[in-house]
Amino acid sequence: VNALEASDMYTKGHSERVKMLALELGRYIGLDVRELEILEQASILHDIGKIGIESFILQKQGKLTSKEYSLIKLHPLIGEEILGPIDTLESVRQTILQHHERYDGNGYPYGLRGEELSLKARILSVVDTFDAMMSERSYRKALPLYQIKEELGANAGSQFDPYVVDSFIEMLNIRGEMLLSLAGYAKLHAVL
């Protein structure tokens, strides 16, 4: 993960923050210890497949061509492939494979939908997107927290599992400030 982050500066700290928040959300929703362990590993490794993608594409500023975008869309499959030989838990690989699927079936790589996706992948997807919106990009600033919550809410039922989004927003409303500063957002987000 450090090699990945070194080659792709804007993901710096991304996996760590996603891991921390995904675990909190998993606990909040009531996953058992074993499920949490799988979620933890999958969160740390979810973008490992980007190692197999040319860094000029990952770092490109401005619009990707459709060919470049289809290469990026391979990273869940590459990640699953990379982890295959290491005898990683099957569920870790499955969660990584599914982290860009959408609740409505319009995601990738397979277009699985709803309960066809593991709950862990549905959790990872919400937290991964949350972190992306909390982070500054070359083409935009970090979004304010209220707007991120609105955005997640607006995509509940389409991109995201509504139950997971509701639980996440509820958790943030109860103890978001503490969680977010523990996860390391204070350094990177003006609101905190």
Closest CB to Fe ion among residues 96, 165: 96
Question: Which residue of the set 50, 60, 63, 73 is catalytic?
Answer: 50
Phi/psi zone of residue 135: left (φ > 0), alpha (ψ -120 to 50 degrees), beta?
beta
Q: Min. distance of Cβ 147 from Fe ion in angstroms?
A: 22
Q: Which of 160, 139, 138, 140 is nearest to 151 (CA)?
A: 160
Tell me the three state secondary structure of residue 105. Answer: coil
Q: Min. distance of Cβ 169 from Fe ion in angstroms?
A: 22
Q: Min. distance of Cβ 17 from Fe ion in angstroms?
A: 14
Instruction: Please indicate whether residue 50 is annotated as part of the active site.
Output: yes
Closest CB to Fe ion among residues 47, 131: 47
- # of chain residues touching Fe ion (CB under 5 A): 1
Closest CB to Fe ion among residues 17, 176: 17
Judged by CB under 5 A, the chain residues 27 through 86 that form the site for Fe ion are 47
Counting every residue written for the chain, the total comes to 192
CB 128, CB 169: distance < 8 Å: no
Cα–Cα distance, 148 to 2 (Å, whole number): 27
Query: What is the contact surface with Fe ion in residues (CB under 5 A)?
Result: 47
Which residues are part of the catalytic machinery? Answer: 50
